[in-house]
């Protein structure tokens, strides 16, 4: 094994991949274009939906269309809700709801004033579509307004009876936030970035790995390469470095696309944050370095696995088939842990490949740093690098796999 030969093979493979427009388009151009479009439409769609939910349209049934009921609804119940607007009278509430003419149709008992004066409850019937997302979500706005009005009536009755209003609140809730001051509130970032980065690192080198061994077998350029002065281990490590590099090129391209998308649609990252703000980042330099090293070793592990699979495959198409299963394997832990928060992380996660990278990223972005856990993740990742590279080297030295036909 020669460092000079490794470097020569590495440069040769990088030049070959750069010349391949398919790889450049797949690894660089498509992520940078598609990711901003995806983020823009998702963020814009969520923002539009939130506005649609907040803007509530109401109509009355024909029998409720009286000046007294209109005054009750417009001035007393919904007077403090400028986002609630009245849209006339409908003869058929069912048709009006299903045809999206209005979101709600209200039917108030005609003798509500008499019942209110007697101190007996009256009913307001709310017609809405429970299967419609906007209708179901904005139903809470409607009920909140009615409940607030009902509470005011109760308070007024108690005042008229010279009863202290504190009788309505026997228990007072005092919230005390015990969250770690370093813990961030970047839920969307903690949900998306670890999943996206870990999956892309795991599968980003697949196009390069498929081409560098299985592709060369198919083009009949692999055997001449083995006859050069470079030893098999030098050739393997040169290809291994190339696959590892392109794994991270793919991730960087995706993150650039994500950043561009975030600039185009900032609401995408803040739609689940209190006040619509991204939380402060305060990642200690030690934790940041450990997390980066864990991600690097993750890429090295999967680069070796991908090369081993490509070595085993007879052809480019066969390698693609095998490596497609690797994509599914990488996606399972990414999606399974998407909703986990830093304080939900368990020790065992830092021992498992790919899970340890996801856990480390969530921990760093969340600001709840545990250096013991990060050390375990890095140590196990380095062990997996050695084992995966040893397996790829063994495969590369087996004639029955290398020249399988």
Over residues 117-129, the pLDDT tens digits come to 888 888 889 998 8
Is residue 279 predicted with pLDDT exceeding 70? no
252: Cα within 13 Å, side-chain hemisphere: 9
Is residue 278 predicted with pLDDT exceeding 50? no
Give the start-to-end residue ranges of the domains of the chain: 3-43+185-402, 53-167
Integer CA distances (angstroms), 308 to 97, 184, 322, 380, 393, in order:
60, 40, 11, 20, 8
Is residue 90 predicted with pLDDT exceeding 80? yes
Q: Which of 177, 192, 374, 178 is nearest to 278 (CA)?
A: 192
161-165, 236-240, 247-251, 269-273, range with greatest mean pLDDT: 236-240
CATH superfamily, with its number, for domain 53-167: abc type-2 transporter like domain (3.40.1710.10)
Q: What is the mean pLDDT of residues 183-197?
A: 69
- Lookup: tokens for 233: 């281990």
pLDDT band at 275 (very low <50, low <70, confident <90, very high): very low
Measured distance CA(188)–CA(185) in Å, rounded = 9
Gyration radius from the chain CA atoms: 31
Which residues face 56 on adjacent strands? 84
**Three-class SS state of 367:** coil
Is residue 136 predicted with pLDDT exceeding 70? yes
Identify whether the C-beta of residue 387 lies closer than 8 Å to the C-beta of residue 235. Answer: no
pLDDT band at 376 (very low <50, low <70, confident <90, very high): very high
70-74, 249-253, 375-379, range with greatest mean pLDDT: 375-379
Measured distance CA(13)–CA(22) in Å, rounded = 15
**Three-class SS state of 88:** strand
Is residue 273 predicted with pLDDT exceeding 60? no
- Lookup: tokens for 265: 């649609």
Identify whether the C-beta of residue 306 lies closer than 8 Å to the C-beta of residue 326. Answer: yes
């Amino acid at each position: 094994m020669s460092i000079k030969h490794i470097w020569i093979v590495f440069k040769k493979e990088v030049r070959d991949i750069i010349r391949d427009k398919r790889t450049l388009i797949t690894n660089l151009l498509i992520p940078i274009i598609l990711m901003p479009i995806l983020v823009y439409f998702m963020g814009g769609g969520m923002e539009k939906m939130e506005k649609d939910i907040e803007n509530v349209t109401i109509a009355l049934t024909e029998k409720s269309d009286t000046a007294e009921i209109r005054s009750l609804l417009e001035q007393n119940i919904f007077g403090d809700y400028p986002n609630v607007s009245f849209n006339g009278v409908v003869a058929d509430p069912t048709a009006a709801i299903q045809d999206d003419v209005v979101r709600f149709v209200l039917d108030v008992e005609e003798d509500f004033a008499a019942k209110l004066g007697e101190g007996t409850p009256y009913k307001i019937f709310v017609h809405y579509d429970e299967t419609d997302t906007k209708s179901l979500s904005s139903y809470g706005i409607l009920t909140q307004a009615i409940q607030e009005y009902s509470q005011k009536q109760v308070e007024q009755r108690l005042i008229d009876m010279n009863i202290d209003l504190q009788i309505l609140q026997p228990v007072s809730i005092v919230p005390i936030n015990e969250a770690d001051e370093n813990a961030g509130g970047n839920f969307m970032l903690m949900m998306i970035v670890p999943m996206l980065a870990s999956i892309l690192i795991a599968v980003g080198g697949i196009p390069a790995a498929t081409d560098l061994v299985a592709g060369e077998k198919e083009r009949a350029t692999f055997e001449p390469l083995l006859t050069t002065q470079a030893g098999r281990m030098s050739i393997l490590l040169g290809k291994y470095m190339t696959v590892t590099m392109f794994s991270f090129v793919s991730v960087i391209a995706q993150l650039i696309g994500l950043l561009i998308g975030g600039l185009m649609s900032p609401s995408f990252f803040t739609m689940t944050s209190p006040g619509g703000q991204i939380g402060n980042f305060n990642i200690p330099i030690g934790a940041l370095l450990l997390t980066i090293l864990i991600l690097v070793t993750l890429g090295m592990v999967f680069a070796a696995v991908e090369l081993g699979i490509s070595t085993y495959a007879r052809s480019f198409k066969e390698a693609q088939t095998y490596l497609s299963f690797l994509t599914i394997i990488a996606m399972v832990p990414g999606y399974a842990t998407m909703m986990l928060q830093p304080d939900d992380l368990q020790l065992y996660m830092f021992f498992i490949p790919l899970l340890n990278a996801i856990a480390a990223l969530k921990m760093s972005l969340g600001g709840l740093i545990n250096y013991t856990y990060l050390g375990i993740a890095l140590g196990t990742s380095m062990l997996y690098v050695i084992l995966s590279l040893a397996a790829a080297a063994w495969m590369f030295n087996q004639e029955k796999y290398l020249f399988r036909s």
